[in-house]
Amino acid sequence: MKNCILHQLFACTDKIYGSTVIKHFRSVDDFGHWWLLGSIWIKDDRSLVIRTWPTLNIAYIISSELADRTNEILKALGIVSSISCVAFHKRTTEDNYLNFQKSKGCASYVGFNGGNQRVFLGPSCRMGNIVHEIFHALGTTHEHTRKDRDKYITVLSQNIKKGKERNFHKKEITNNLDHPYDLISIMHYGRFVFSRNGLPTIVTHVKDEDKVRYMGQRFKVTKLDGKKLRTLYHCGMCSLWCRPNRSNARVNLHCLVSFVFPSFPNKPEQ
């Protein structure tokens, strides 16, 4: 039983974006109408609404095969926690939890699916990539698949590897959360991702050279990344939330704290 000091102090007026997914699945082998889109598993439905976790304190386990990367994973979880009202704790008996497993590449289901929800980490998954996958697990989709993306980028389908086109399909997903398009989001692809000929798969209409240069970066969580995650989990400026009464318990008053947006020690990776 969680000993919550105080769950909510004010009646917030934040918009509610929560919903339910049409289908749940437990295994990466249960394809059905789900597709692997780059680093995420998502239903082949362009109007899909992603389901958020039903708790703000999410349990996790780390496979023994990733023992040498435990500190890196914990730091990534800490980064996500530091910019949101979502906390993480080591699993005891929880039915729903994140399971970090060793794999060849980086991948995650999108949003809450329940039970043993795996996050796959390969040798190439550095700090920024791990944060990227945790964002997926919490319900955040790729920025470049937003329905309003054509105002900011053009996808050059003729340069995309065969079979990878779905990675660039626009999704009519509601968790854009009415926030501005973020070209340098940690959830955005870079210019040459899945290129079949060395030419760009994404070009931008934005004139800001820094944004163009850092599009696809995996070394920093942007302010908009944090803002979207906080909106997704109703971390309103008027809300007071708490963690379980454990040795690491603490209370955050979001109308008083200023969030830190850390840079990672790794260079951008595609």
Binding-site residue positions for Zn(2+): 132, 136, 142
Q: Does the active-site annotation cover 72? A: no
CA distances from 247 to 56, 78, 90 (A): 17, 16, 12
Tell me, what amino acid is at 165?
E
Tell me, what amino acid is at 90?
K
Task: With H, G, I as helix, E, B as strand and everything else as coil, classify residue 232.
Answer: helix
CA distances from 117 to 28, 67, 101, 205 (A): 10, 19, 10, 37
Q: What is the C-alpha to C-alpha distance for residues 195 and 55, in angstroms, rounded to an integer?
A: 39
Tell me, rounded to whole angstroms, the distance of Cα 63 from its chain centroid: 20
* Cβ-based neighbour number of residue 186 at 10 Å: 24
Total length of the chain: 270
Task: With H, G, I as helix, E, B as strand and everything else as coil, classify residue 233.
Answer: coil
Task: With H, G, I as helix, E, B as strand and everything else as coil, classify residue 228.
Answer: helix
Of 133, 172, 209, 269, the active-site residue reads 133
User: Dihedral of the CA atoms 245, 247, 253, 254 (nearest 10)?
Assistant: -110
Residues 6+ apart with CB under 8 A from 19: 49, 50, 51, 174
Catalytic residues: 133
